[in-house]
Amino acid sequence: MKKSKVETAQTRDRIVKTAAAEFRRNGIHASGLNDVMAAAGLTHGGFYRHFDSKDQLLAEACAVGGEAFAEMIESAASAGDGKNSLQAIVEAYLSPKHRDDREGCCPVVSLGSELARADEATRAIATEGFLDLVDFVAKRFPRTKPEVAKAKAIVVLCAMMGAVTMSRVVVDPDLSDEILLQMKKHLTGG
């Protein structure tokens, strides 16, 4: 049953990507390794050929999930023209599509309160992902001092994270939409 090196690496990648989706969909605690491995088309026994522990998988899944989400945001930014790329980011982040995308969304939205209790390695990776996003958003404030741009980016990102999280908690669909809309108006100076 031994697989080629290429195949082994592909399997490992598939497990991490599957975990990144499963964790975001169901939460960290609620996603069993059995679920993740089955969703990746494998049995659970082989897990420890690739990883030391569930915590290690979580850390790697956070890295991959964060990068994938950053790419989504970056492509949304480049869809808007140079001047309006901040608005394009805000509209993508605060869209009902993002709110309803349980597998591909921002990891902080789907896992925020669980990440706050995760081990240091995972939180360090989440911190890096956040800072990468902060840098990217900060560039949308040209002719602004770097520290000020960074501060603005932190505010915009955290505000959006809170809004999408809350839009998922409330039961009233109209209220959920309103939360996204009001935050969008606020952040785009409407």
Binding-site ranges for DNA (CB under 7 A): 1-8, 11-12, 31-35, 37, 42-50, 53-55
Q: How far is the CB of 46 from a second copy (least distance, A)?
A: 25
Q: Which is nearer to a second copy, 76 or 160 (CB)?
A: 160
- Among positions 114-133, residues that touch a second copy (CB under 8 A) are 114-117, 120, 123-124, 126-127, 130-131
Q: How far is the CB of 41 from a second copy (least distance, A)?
A: 25
Tokens of 51: 């990883």
Query: What single-letter amino acid sits at 32?
Result: G
Question: 88: closest CA among 175, 156, 177, 168?
Answer: 156
Question: Distance between CA atoms of 171 and 162, rounded to whole angstroms?
Answer: 16
Q: Which is nearer to a second copy, 42 or 151 (CB)?
A: 151
Near a second copy by CB under 8 A: residue from 27, 41, 46, 173: 27
151 is a site residue for a second copy (CB under 8 A): yes
Question: Distance between CA atoms of 26 and 17, rounded to whole angstroms?
Answer: 14
79 is a site residue for a second copy (CB under 8 A): no
Long-range contacts at 82-89 (CB < 8 A, ≥ 24 apart): 85/140, 86/137, 86/140, 86/141, 86/156, 86/188, 87/188, 89/137, 89/140
Question: 86: closest CA among 95, 99, 98, 73?
Answer: 73
Q: Which is nearer to DNA, 22 or 91 (CB)?
A: 22
Q: Which is nearer to a second copy, 68 or 159 (CB)?
A: 159
Query: What single-letter amino acid sits at 73?
Result: I
Q: Which residues bind a second copy (CB under 8 A)?
A: 26-27, 29-30, 108-117, 120, 123-124, 126-127, 130-131, 151, 154-155, 157-163, 165-166, 168-172, 175, 178-179, 182-183, 185-186
